[in-house]
């Protein structure tokens, strides 16, 4: 496949080491980190060096490889219990993205059959998780693009591209596929406060891959939709509940409410690993609360009045009733509900 519009990779394993593009420094600087141990990988996930639910899961799988190497070298006959503790350290790095727990559950299941050095088998598993994610993203790109009529404008929120996944992207993968198919008249991206993932990351990806993008402040999304310049709001998901409710970057629910009012369709694009049938509805999804400084400051510089506090949830819940389509590599669910989500995952 032509890779002109797919050149970015933010997570990879090479020379027996995990390489992570430090997304906190983009777009000003492309700086790569090589976390040396499990704690460093967990810190990279927690501190948003790596972010996006699929990318977090992939990084954690590679983190398990690093942990397995260290535990086996330290105690070849007693590595199993310490490694399980390392997996829990990785699991606790961020609570909302279900892909993190999903990847580590696959690692834990693989441990049950292992004897001797666990590193080769866990590395093969991590690479398989990574490859499967890229393949799933390309499949979702095809399925989502097929829903979009030629000449459409699209708006996306946060970053759901190669930086947030193993490659190609979820919602941004749909945009890539639709752009390649000459279906899009315009691509708009919300800035996405407080971390500005849209401004710093989505815009950087699209410019790098020769896809024109117009940036809008989050508060301009309603006026953009009212002006009929976009026909689809396309977003990702960190977790999808059994009834089709979606947890995604804070501001997604606001955009979806406005989209429904102005007749703009809402598409959620996420791998099947983001679907959590054990969570009945959105109200049961834990919402990560992040430090107030992320709102009160910008790149370390104060932007709020001294003495002000901030409430900083990282995610919100978009009800299934506001969603027109959920796209996974397993297929498309239109107007999602519990029955349809269960059928998708059966």
Which of left, alpha, beta for 169 (phi over 0: left; psi -120 to 50: alpha)?
Answer: left
Distance CA(284)–CA(103), nearest Å, equals 21
238 labelled catalytic: yes
Q: 49 near 55, Cβ under 8 Å?
A: no
For residue 185, which phi and psi values (nearest 5 degrees)? Answer: -90, -25
CB under 8 A, 24+ apart: contacts of 282-286: 282/241, 282/243, 282/245, 282/246, 282/247, 282/317, 282/318, 282/319, 283/245, 283/317, 284/241, 285/96, 285/239, 285/241, 285/245, 285/247, 285/315, 285/317, 286/95, 286/96
Counting beta carbons within 10 angstroms of the beta carbon of residue 154, is it exposed (0 to 12), middle (13 to 18) or buried (19 or more)? Answer: buried
Q: Residues 86, 190, 238, 245: which is the catalytic one?
A: 238
Q: Are strands 239-241 and 275-276 parallel, antiparallel or unpaired?
A: parallel
Distance of CA 205 to the CA centre of its chain: 14
First to last CA, the chain: 31
Specify the 3-state DSSP secondary structure of 267: strand
Q: What share of the chain is helix, strand, coil (3-state, %, to 5)?
A: 45, 20, 40
Residues marked as catalytic:
238
């Amino acid at each position: 496949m032509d890779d002109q519009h797919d050149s970015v990779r933010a997570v990879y394993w090479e020379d027996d080491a995990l390489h992570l593009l430090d997304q906190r420094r983009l777009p000003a600087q492309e700086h790569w980190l090589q976390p040396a141990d499990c704690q460093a990988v967990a810190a990279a996930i927690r501190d948003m060096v790596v972010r996006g639910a699929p990318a977090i899961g992939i990084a954690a799988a590679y983190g398990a490889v690093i942990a397995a190497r260290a535990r086996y070298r330290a105690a070849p006959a007693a590595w199993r219990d310490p490694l399980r503790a390392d997996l829990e350290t990785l699991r606790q790095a961020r609570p909302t993205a279900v892909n993190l727990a999903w990847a580590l559950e696959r690692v834990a299941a693989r441990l049950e059959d292992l004897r001797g050095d666990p590193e080769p088998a866990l590395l093969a598993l991590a690479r398989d998780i990574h490859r499967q994610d890229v393949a799933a993203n390309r499949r979702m790109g095809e399925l989502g693009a097929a829903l979009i009529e030629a000449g459409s404008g699209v708006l996306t929120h946060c970053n759901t591209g190669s930086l947030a996944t193993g490659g190609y992207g979820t919602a941004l993968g749909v945009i890539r596929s639709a752009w390649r198919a000459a279906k899009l008249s315009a691509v708009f991206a919300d800035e996405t406060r407080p971390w500005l993932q849209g401004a710093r990351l989505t815009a950087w990806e699209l410019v790098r891959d020769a896809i024109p993008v117009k940036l809008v402040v989050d508060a301009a999304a309603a006026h953009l939709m009212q002006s009929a310049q976009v026909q689809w709001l396309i977003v990702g998901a960190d977790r999808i509940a059994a009834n089709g409710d979606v947890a995604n970057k804070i501001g997604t629910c606001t955009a979806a409410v406005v989209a429904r009012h102005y007749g703009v369709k809402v598409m959620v694009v996420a791998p099947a690993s983001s679907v959590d049938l054990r969570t009945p509805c959105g109200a049961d999804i834990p919402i990560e609360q992040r430090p107030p400084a992320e709102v009160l400051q910008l790149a370390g510089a104060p932007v709020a009045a001294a003495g002000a506090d901030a409430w900083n949830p990282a995610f919100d819940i978009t009800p299934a009733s506001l969603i027109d389509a959920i796209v996974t590599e397993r297929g498309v669910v239109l107007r999602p509900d519990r029955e349809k989500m269960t059928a998708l995952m059966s």
